[in-house]
Amino acid sequence: MDKIIDDFYGTEHAIRYYGWVVVGMGFLANLVGYGLVFAYGVFLKPVASEFGWSRAVTSGAFSSYAIVHNIMAFLAGRLIDRFSPKLVLTVAGFSLGLSMILMSFITSLWELYLYYGLVFSIGIAATYTPVMATVSRWFRYKRGLAIGVTAAGLGAGSLVFSPLVAWLISSFGWRVTYVIIGVISWVVFVPVVRFIRDAPREIGTSGSDSSNTLSFSKAFMTRTFWAFGVSWMFIAIAMWAIMIHIVPLATDRGMPIVTAGIMAGLIGVGSITGRIGAGFISDRVGRKKIIISAFSFQLIMTIWLLFSRQAWMFFLFAILFGLSSGGWTGVIAAFPADYFGLRATGTILGFSVIMAGIGIAIGPYLGGYFFDVTHSYEGMLVICIIATVAAILSASFITPVRKRDAPM
């Protein structure tokens, strides 16, 4: 067994190790999927203005996506524990492209909620959880770095799609823009489906991951399981309220939409650095220290945004908020494998994404609601500050779980 582990350690550190190809494909999948997610904030104001919808109602489609995504993410997690990631990611790529093209044809509110709230939800649910669970199985010694690089696709998605969509909307209108990014989704997912594959069985069954692994039902009964899920829910409220409303917030304070799109894209720049850097460091100092530090840094930047009025303040916020949010999103998907082992990592991650999805549903809707009532985003930012503090407190209860300590 020691020889297997030693050989695996050496292989995992080699560039030719196929796990790094899987990381690359996961990066691309996340780039497209979450690039489309982040772009919703750029579409929000033009779409709402054309149809005369309130921002709460228009943001509600994003909340609807988050709710449906919750259910689908758990199912995707169970599927990835049983079937090839190729199958699940084929569904993901098809659904993402189809939903964007359908969005170009909307003429009523129910179509917005159906195409974005249902079809798009299926695509994202079949992307994030399966990709992260698959990457986790390929790595032990460099799991944090591998997850961080894969998660950097989310930041790259914001960097690429937010300014791209802002430019496309200003040049061709939002309907044509939806068609263009839908086609891009289909094209990018072709190599993803072609090259991604599950880890060989001997990787997932060697070393400490197999000797200290829990079933979903056993993990469900531990304090760490719930501390992890609740902390993710609260920080998701704080992060996604800002991510969806940052472009409307900036334009309401006088920034042109293209400039605001570039500013939102800079969040992706900071996020890429945060995700990769935090993943690398977490392999050495531990994931818990990283997420609590990142949560605290995000809290500081949310307070900064509350008082931001000038362009330089927004641009500084974008880079540092991206760095802080990237710090925790770059490692959080590694927690299920780290604390509960590989036996049910897809299912556990899928359920944890449900908790995060509750936060994703609440945050953007509250942002739209507070704006409709007060014509300001200050109330939303106060809620984000409170939610971040709650996330820090919840994360402090995450502790190592040993198989013999789990309820029988």
Q: What is the pLDDT of residue 4?
A: 42
Residue type at position 299: L
Query: What contacts 39, CB < 8 A, 6 or more positions away?
Result: 161, 162, 165, 181
Q: Which two tokens stand for residue 72?
A: 């689908």
The answer to whether 29 and 185 have CB atoms below 8 angstroms apart is no
Q: Which two tokens stand for residue 202?
A: 């001997």
Phi, psi angle pair for 105, to nearest 5°: -105, 5
Nearest-5° angle of CA 249, CA 255, CA 258? 100
The rounded distance, in Å, linking the Cα atoms of 28 and 237 is 25
Q: What is the pLDDT of residue 113?
A: 94
The rounded distance, in Å, linking the Cα atoms of 146 and 143 is 5
The rounded distance, in Å, linking the Cα atoms of 10 and 238 is 40
Residue 230, classed as helix, strand or coil, is helix
- Fold type of domain 16-401: Growth Hormone; Chain: A; (1.20.1250)
The secondary structure of residue 214, as a DSSP letter, is -
The rounded distance, in Å, linking the Cα atoms of 68 and 111 is 15
The rounded distance, in Å, linking the Cα atoms of 108 and 112 is 7
Each domain of the chain, given as residue ranges in start order, spans 16-401
Q: Which two tokens stand for residue 154?
A: 């989310």
Tell me the torsion sign for CA atoms 358, 363, 364, 366. Answer: positive
The rounded distance, in Å, linking the Cα atoms of 328 and 332 is 6
Which residues of the chain fall short of a pLDDT of 50? 1-10, 204-211, 408
The answer to whether 227 and 398 have CB atoms below 8 angstroms apart is yes
User: Among candidates 235, 232, 259, which has minimal Cα distance to 246?
Assistant: 259
Read out DSSP for 199-215? PPHHHHTSTHHHHT---
The rounded distance, in Å, linking the Cα atoms of 136 and 132 is 6
Residue 13, classed as helix, strand or coil, is coil
Phi, psi angle pair for 398, to nearest 5°: -75, 120
143 CB-side CA count, 13 A: 25
* Distance between start and end Cα atoms, the chain: 28
Read out DSSP for 375-387? SSSHHHHHHHHHH
Query: What contacts 405, CB < 8 A, 6 or more positions away?
Result: 222
The rounded distance, in Å, linking the Cα atoms of 15 and 47 is 45
